[in-house]
Chain A
Amino acid sequence: MIIGLDVGGTTIDTVAIENGKVVAFKKFERGRSLIDSALESLNQFISKEMISNLERITLSTTVTTNAIVQNNLDKVGMIIENGIGANPEFLMCGDMNFFADGYINNRGIEINPVNIESVKSALQSFKQEGIENLGIVGKFSVRNPQHELSVFKAAKEYNFKFVSVGYKLSGKLNFPRRVFSTYLNCAVYSTFNMFYKSILTFSQERKIPLEKIFIQKPDGGIVNLQNIESFPIFSILSGPAASAQGGFVLSNFAKNAIIIDIGGTTTDIAFLSNGNLVLEPYGAKIGKYPTLVRAIYSRSVGLGAESIVKIVDDTVKIGPETKRWYEKGKNEFITFYDVLQFSNSCHESPINAGLKSLSSQLNMSQENFCKLVISRAVSMIEEKIKEGIEYINNLPVYTINKLLYGEKFAPQKIILIGGPAELLKPHLENELKIKVEVPKHYMVANAIGCAIGSISKEYNLVADTIQGKMVIPELNIYQSIPADFTIDQAKKVLIEKVLECREAKNQDDVEIVDESSFNMIRSFKFCGRMIRIKAQLKPKLLNLRD
C-alpha cells in the first residue's frame, strides 16, 4: 500500500494505491493551520488495515515554501568566498554576511587560500548576535570543496544549531544560486523542524516507522524524511511536481506532451519531452531567490476553478482573485467554474442572476458571455504553453551536433488534470486544435503523483588528468585518478559510484545523459584530459493498472 497526500491551495488530496490500483481517495478541506490539517486529513484517511501493509506514505507540502513567501525565516549568518567576478554585494542575503578572501578557480585549483582566522572572528560575531544557523559557500566549490570544508571545520567549535555547506546542495555551477540556496536551506530550518517533529509524533502515535515516510521533492522525486533533515530546502515547491508527475503516470508515460493541472487558484503547466519531464536548467526560483534546487520546469497562470470573473473597463477579467472556501455561500461572485458549468449544461442555476448581470454589462447573451470568458481563459493558458515551448527549444546548446540535429520539442497532446478538467477539455481541444486527454482519477492526480514519486537524481563527474583529480559533488566524492584516465573509465566509475552509494540497485538504472572529453593543451603540447560526464537515475514509476 502506498499513500500519497498533496496539500494544495484549497484542498488536501489523499490517495491509496495497492498493486498498481487506486483503492481509495478523498479530498479534505484545508484548514488554517497547514500542518495540523494535513496530519488530521492523513489521520482520518489512514485506516488500521492500510497501516498493516503500508509500503510508504509520501507527503507533498508547502510548509517551507510558505515560510519563505511569508518571510517567516530563521536568522542566518553567511560565510561567502566570492572570489573573482561580480561585485558581491547582491549576495548579502544573510542577516549577517562575511566575505572571505581566497579563491578556487574553474578547474578547482586553489589560487589563494582562505584566511581562517578572519573567518573565525566573523563566526564569533555571528554568535554574539544570536545567530544559530550558518551557511558556507565558495565560488567553484563543486570543483573543490576544500575551502568550504575548512570553514565548516572551524565552525564546529562555535556550536551552531544548523550548518549548511553549498557544494552539497547541487553539483551544478552557478555561484549566486548556490549562495541563495544555502541561505534558504538554513533559513527554513526551524519551520521544517517543526513539521518534522509533528510528523514524528504522528508516526509514533500511529506506529508507522519513520523510514516509511517520504517527502515529495520539486523535481518529482521523493526522499525519505530522515534523509532530508540537512536539506530542508528540498521540500519546497512540491505541488507542481506532484501534479506533473501525476499527469505523467496517468497518461501512461506519454512521450511528448503538455501536462495541465487546473486547480482551485492556479493552473500549472509542465512539459514532457522525449519521455522525460522537463526540468529547470539550474533550479527552482523560490520567492525572490533563484536556487539550485532541482525542479520540474513549470509555468503557472493565476487561473483556476475559483477564480473570480469580473468586468474591468468593458473587458472580461478572470482571476487572480479567488473565492475561497470560507467565502462559500456568498453568491455575488461568479467563478470560472460557474461559467464552465453553465456553458456545458446551460441549466438554470443559482448563479444565473450574477451571470445575467455580468453579461448584460457587455450587452451579450449569457451563452456568448460564457464563450468569451472561456476563450479568454484558454488564451491565458495558451500563452504560457507557447512561452514554455519556446523556452525549451531555445535552451543553449554547445555542440554542432545538438544545434543541427537536436530534436525540437513538439507536444502531441495535452494531459488535462484537476477538478474542472472534464468541463474544460472540449474548449481546450477546440481552440488549441490539439488532442486533449482527461485521464481517469484526474481529480486526485496530484496525490497520485505524490504517492508514486520515484527517486530521481543527477550526477556530474568532472575529471582533470593534469591535476589527477576527479569530483562527483552529488556523491561527495573527491579522489585521485591516473594520468591516463579515459572517458570510458569515467563513465564506468560514475555508474559504479552511484551503485556503491546505494542510490541505484543495478547499473541499468543509471543513464549517461551527457559526455565530453577535451584534450588540454599547454604550450602547444597535449598534457591531459578534461572529462565531463552527466548521469541520471532513470525514474522508475509505478504503472497504474486502471
Chain B
Amino acid sequence: MLKAKNSLGLILFPAFDWRISPTHPEREERLLYTIDQIEEEGLFDYENIKIYNPEMIESKYIEMTHFCIPAISSIVTVSHKIAAGSAITIAKKVLSKEVEKGFALIRPPGHHAHRITYGDRGFCIINNEAIMVEYLRKEYKIKKIAIIDTDCHHGDGTQDIFWNDKDVLFISLHQDGTTLYPGTGFTDEMGGPSAIGYTLNLPLPPYTSDEGFLYCLDNLIIPVLEEFKPDIIINSAGQDNHYSDPLTNMNFSAQGYAKLTEKLSPNISVLEGGYSIESALPYVNLGIIFAFAGIDYSNIKEPDYNPERLKQSQRTTDYIKRLCEHVYSIWKSKEEREYNIKMANQDYYVRKKSIYYDTMGFRENQLEKIKICKKCSGLILIDSLCLGYRVLAIVIPHDACNDCENEGHKLFENTEVGDYSHILLQDKKSFEFFRKPL
C-alpha cells in the first residue's frame, strides 16, 4: 500500500444531508467534489492517512466557550455540534499521537461565532477551534496555543473569545475589512489590556496572490511563532482566498495553500470557509492534505491555473511589506503597550461593541468590561442587548486570581434577575457554568 511521509488524520464529514437553505453557499454540495477528488486520488489507501468519523460534542465544552442565547438547544443545530465535535475528535487523535497531524474537513464553519452568540453569523453559530482550545486546555493541560486564521474573512469570533487571553496567540490574515464582511480585523485591534499584541491582524488588499500570503508567513507569522513558542499550532483553514471564490476578491491558488500549509506546519487544521466548491475546493483541499502528509503536491494545480494572470501589483507587494513591519512592531512593543493601557485604565477597561448578524439581519450591542488586575488577566463582564434579551455574562478567566474568582461568583449571586433575561457565569478556572434564572 501507499505510504505518506507524515502520518495524517482526516475527518471528512461533508454532512450531505444538511443545509441552511436550498441556494445558500454553505450547502450540501459544498464538499461533494472535494470528496470525489480525494476518493479518486486513492487517499484512503495510504496506510498512514487515517480517516475518522466525528463525534458529537458534549454541551459542557460549548458552555465553557460560548454564552448561547437564549439557550444551546434553541440555536445550536446537530450539524454544528458535529462540526465542533470533529475538532475535538481530530485533537484527540493528534494529542494521543495516533497521528502526527490532523485536518478536519467539515461544515459548517465557526470562526465568526463570538463569545456571546445569538445565532448564525457568516454561516457560523459556534466556534469550532475555540471549543477545541477549551478542550485542549482542560483535557490535555496545554498552555500555549497559536491559532492562525487563513480564511479570507477576518476571524472576528475567535478574536473576540481570546481577546484578553495571553496564552492564545491569534493571527488572522484576511481581505481588508473595508472591502469585505465582517468589516473588522484592522491592525489596531491587538487584544485586551492583559493580552495586548497577542491578537495580530493582517488586512490584505484585494487581489493579493500567493506571493503576498507567503511573504506574510515568512516575514511575520513564522518569526512571531518562533518567539511565542506555542505548544500547539491550529490553522483555521478557510479556502475562500482562492482566485475563483465567489464571495471574495483574492488571488490565492492551490499551490499557494499547499506551500502555506507546508511552511506553517500546523498540528491541526480545521476547515472554515471556501465557496468555490467546484473550481477550487477539490484542488485546494488535496493540496493541503498532500502538504500535510509530506506527499509531493507539485502536480496539483487547478485546471485553469495561470500564475501570470494572478500576479499581484507592485503596490500590493509594497503595502504588504510595510504591513508586516508595522504588525511586527506591535508584537515587539506589546509589554510597553500593556503597561500604558493598564496605567491609563486603573479599574476596568471598557469597550462598546456592536455586532451585526448578517445572515439573520439583527444587531447586538455590548458593553464589555475587563478588570485591570495585577495578579491575573482579569474578570470579564459583558452586558449584552439583542432581540429583546438582556444578558449579563461573567467570565472568570482560566488564570484567575482568588480575588477575581470570588468577585465573579459574588457578582453572579448578588445580581438580581430584574431587567436581565439571563445572568450567566463561565468559570473557566474551575470549568463550571452557572445560570440565572434556572
Contacts and interface: CB of A to CB of B under 8 A. Distances in A.
B22 A285 contact: no
A114 to B, nearest CB: 14
A234 B329 CA distance: 66
Interface string A521-537: 10111100010000000
Contacts of A520: 29
A103 B299 CA distance: 13
A285 B45 CA distance: 10
A428 to B, nearest CB: 30
Interface in A282-325: 282, 285, 288, 290
A174 interface: yes
A396 B35 CA distance: 11
Nearest to B17: A399
Contacts of B27: 519, 521
Contacts of A525: 23
A523 B246 contact: yes
Interface string B273-286: 00000100011001
Interface in A465-496: none
Contacts of A396: 12, 44, 51, 53
A529 B282 CA distance: 19
Contact of B25 (A139, A290, A404, A524): A524
Contacts of A47: none
Contacts of A84: 283, 299-303
Interface in A112-148: 112, 139-140
B301 A400 contact: no
A519 B56 contact: no
A326 interface: no
Given A400-B17, A403-B53, A290 B1 contact: yes
Contacts of A285: 1
Contacts of B16: 398-399, 516, 518
B42 interface: yes
B54 interface: yes
A520 B25 CA distance: 10
B13 A403 contact: yes
Interface stretch (B138-146, B290-298, B337-345, B430-438): B290-298
B15 interface: yes
B56 A404 contact: yes
Given A398-B12, A526-B22, A106 B282 contact: yes
Contacts of A175: 40-42
A272 to B, nearest CB: 22
A159 interface: no
Interface string A364-399: 000000000000000000000000000000101111
A525 B82 CA distance: 28
A394 B52 contact: yes
Nearest to B282: A106
Given A398-B12, A516-B16, A176 B53 contact: no
Interface in A500-546: 516, 518-521, 523-526, 530
Contacts of A107: 33, 278
Interface residues of A, number: 45
Contacts of A530: 29, 32
B41 A87 contact: no
B265 interface: no
Nearest to A140: B40
Given A86-B295, A290-B1, A398 B35 contact: yes
A86 B299 contact: yes
Contact of A87 (B52, B56, B296, B301): B296
Contacts of B317: none
A173 B296 contact: no
A177 B45 contact: yes
A394 to B, nearest CB: 6
A174 B39 contact: yes
A350 interface: no
A105 B303 contact: yes
A88 interface: yes
Most chain-B CB neighbours within 10 Å: which of A103, A524, A525, A526?
Answer: A524
Interface in B7-55: 12-18, 22-23, 25, 27-29, 32-33, 35-37, 39-42, 44-45, 51-54
Contact of A519 (B22, B35, B286): B22
Given A519-B27, A530-B32, A403 B54 contact: yes
A84 B42 CA distance: 13
Nearest to B85: A403
A60 B388 CA distance: 74
A52 interface: no
Contacts of B2: 90, 176
Interface residues of B, number: 48
Nearest to B290: A86
A179 to B, nearest CB: 9
Contacts of B298: 87
Interface in B307-329: none
A176 B82 contact: no
Given A85-B299, A397-B53, A400-B78, A177 B42 contact: yes
A84 B303 CA distance: 8
A399 B296 contact: no
A197 to B, nearest CB: 34
Contact of B45 (A87, A290, A516, A521): A290
B421 interface: no
A354 to B, nearest CB: 40
Nearest to A396: B51
A405 to B, nearest CB: 11
Contacts of B6: none
Interface string A12-33: 0000000000000000000000
A117 to B, nearest CB: 22
Nearest to B14: A398
A9 interface: no
Given A103-B303, A525-B23, A394 B53 contact: yes
A214 B418 CA distance: 83
Contacts of A85: 37, 40-41, 286, 299-300
Contacts of B23: 519, 521, 524-526
Interface string A202-246: 000000000000000000000000000000000000000000000
A173 B300 contact: no
Contacts of A521: 23, 25, 27, 29
B36 A401 contact: no
B285 to A, nearest CB: 12
Interface string B239-256: 000000010000000000
Nearest to B54: A403
Contacts of A398: 12-16, 35
Interface in A335-364: none
B91 to A, nearest CB: 18
Given A103-B303, A518-B16, A521-B29, 17 more contacts: A86-B41, A86-B290, A88-B299, A106-B282, A140-B40, A174-B39, A174-B44, A176-B2, A176-B42, A177-B42, A282-B45, A400-B17, A400-B79, A403-B82, A519-B27, A524-B23, A524-B25
8 contacts: A86-B296, A174-B44, A285-B1, A397-B53, A400-B82, A524-B246, A525-B23, A526-B22
Q: Which 10 A-B pairs have the closest CB atoms?
A: A176-B42, A106-B36, A111-B303, A173-B39, A399-B17, A518-B29, A87-B296, A173-B40, A399-B16, A85-B41
Interface of B: 1-2, 12-18, 22-23, 25, 27-29, 32-33, 35-37, 39-42, 44-45, 51-54, 56, 78-79, 82, 246, 278, 282-283, 286, 290, 295-296, 298-303
